[in-house]
Amino acid sequence: MKKTLLITGGAGFIGSHVVRRFITRYPDYLIVNLDALTYAGNLENLRDVAGAPNYRFEKGDIRDQAFLKALFEKYAFEGVIHLAAESHVDRSISNPVAFVETNVMGTVNLLHAAAQAWKGQSEDKRFYHVSTDEVYGSLGEEGFFTETTPYDPRSPYSASKASSDHFVRAWHHTYDLPVVLSNCSNNYGPYHFPEKLIPLMIHNIRQQKALPVYGDGKYTRDWLWVEDHASAIDLIFHKGRNGETYNIGGNNEWKNIDLVEKLCDIMDELLGRTPGASRQLITFVKDRPGHDRRYAIDASKLRDELGWTPSINFDEGFRRTAQWYLDNTEWLEHVASGAYQQYYAEQYENNDER
């Protein structure tokens, strides 16, 4: 194997796309996926690649320093791509401490483990921290987040991610840890846990349930096809400059209500329902506290330096996503029923090979 890489959070939404991409594009890398399998971790997301010879799964928690130390000793990683996190804003409002423990302390533990393991021999190593545009706060009608926009997080989730970004830069400056960071806009696509806007709406439209739109529905997000995020991570991991940060975005802004209406129309078409039927399900509900009004990314640094652009437009991405959920009802039902949490026990427990 040419390189051994640690990917954290690989059983989650974005992590599973990154793991799949690295397993298939780099057969000479050994990819170790470390995931605690919280409610958001689902090994069914990786069913198609789990048997690959260059893949290992390690169940473990980034809050556990001793476990991380032993893992670095076991594998002698040459790179880390860190995605493990608590990721849902609404959950951060009801349970903020868990976000500090995993997103802040977990990241610090991982930085510490990498810096200790790579002490004095870090030239060819790389620690990649995957972060979010939410650290920059909220925009008005105009403007975009750039890499130099001051941090202004407003939810416990974004504050914990902002804090983790600061620690990554601190380890770079203080301990010479070779790092690279990216801050990405909202992702969408297959394997997205149905507590987030797009899969929740698809799930509810399918079941003809109410579609809860927060507040006035005019909150704006910049949506990126998840595989385009994975391609940007691949490029930045290999070609990004040491110590730099890159913003990643889809140049694809939608007000929530417009997006939900569009999804209703696509789903009506795909399900053969009367045009306009699903829009009847839209229900305006109580707003999220501290709800950020608008996010929009200026990704020109990544485009100009590394030549990255999104590969598909939203219309195509939206249709692919809706179709994927219709074709993968078993995945969705396992998530809804909790059955996906059995998968680890069936596949990995009592199996010393893994």
List residues binding ligand TYD (CB under 6 A).
89, 186, 196-197, 200, 212-214, 219, 221, 256, 288
Annotation says 134 is catalytic: yes
For residue 232, the partner it binds in ligand TYD, ligand NAD, none, with Cβ less than 5 to 8 A by kind, is none
Task: In angstroms, give the least distance from the CB of 295 to ligand TYD.
Answer: 7
| Torsion, CA 86, CA 22, CA 240, CA 232, rounded to 10 | -70
Annotation says 219 is catalytic: no
Site residues (CB under 6 A) for ligand NAD?
8-9, 11-15, 35-38, 40-41, 61-63, 83-87, 102, 106, 130, 132, 161, 184, 186-187, 193
Of 118 and 191, which has the nearer Cβ to ligand NAD? 191
Annotation says 157 is catalytic: yes
Half-sphere exposure of 15 (CA within 13 A, CB side): 33
Of 212 and 243, which has the nearer Cβ to ligand TYD? 212
Of 214 and 348, which has the nearer Cβ to ligand TYD? 214
Report the alpha-carbon distance of residue 82 to residue 12 in Å, rounded.
12
Task: In angstroms, give the least distance from the CB of 200 to ligand TYD.
Answer: 5
Report the alpha-carbon distance of residue 111 to residue 68 in Å, rounded.
10
For residue 205, the partner it binds in ligand TYD, ligand NAD, none, with Cβ less than 5 to 8 A by kind, is none
| Annotated active-site residue in 134, 147, 165, 292 | 134
Residue type, 27: P
User: What count of other Cβ atoms lies within 10 Å of the Cβ of residue 286?
Assistant: 8
Task: In angstroms, give the least distance from the CB of 88 to ligand NAD.
Answer: 7
For residue 267, the partner it binds in ligand NAD, ligand TYD, none, with Cβ less than 5 to 8 A by kind, is none
Single out the residue of 129, 152, 161, 198 nearest to residue 295, CA to CA.
152
For residue 45, the partner it binds in ligand TYD, ligand NAD, none, with Cβ less than 5 to 8 A by kind, is none
Report the alpha-carbon distance of residue 320 to residue 17 in Å, rounded.
15
| Annotated active-site residue in 133, 147, 165, 253 | 133
For residue 41, the partner it binds in ligand TYD, ligand NAD, none, with Cβ less than 5 to 8 A by kind, is ligand NAD
Of 155 and 245, which has the nearer Cβ to ligand TYD? 155
Of 7 and 213, which has the nearer Cβ to ligand NAD? 7
Task: In angstroms, give the least distance from the CB of 154 to ligand NAD.
Answer: 15
Structure tokens at 13: 């939404």
Task: In angstroms, give the least distance from the CB of 87 to ligand TYD.
Answer: 8
Residues designated as active site: 133-134, 157
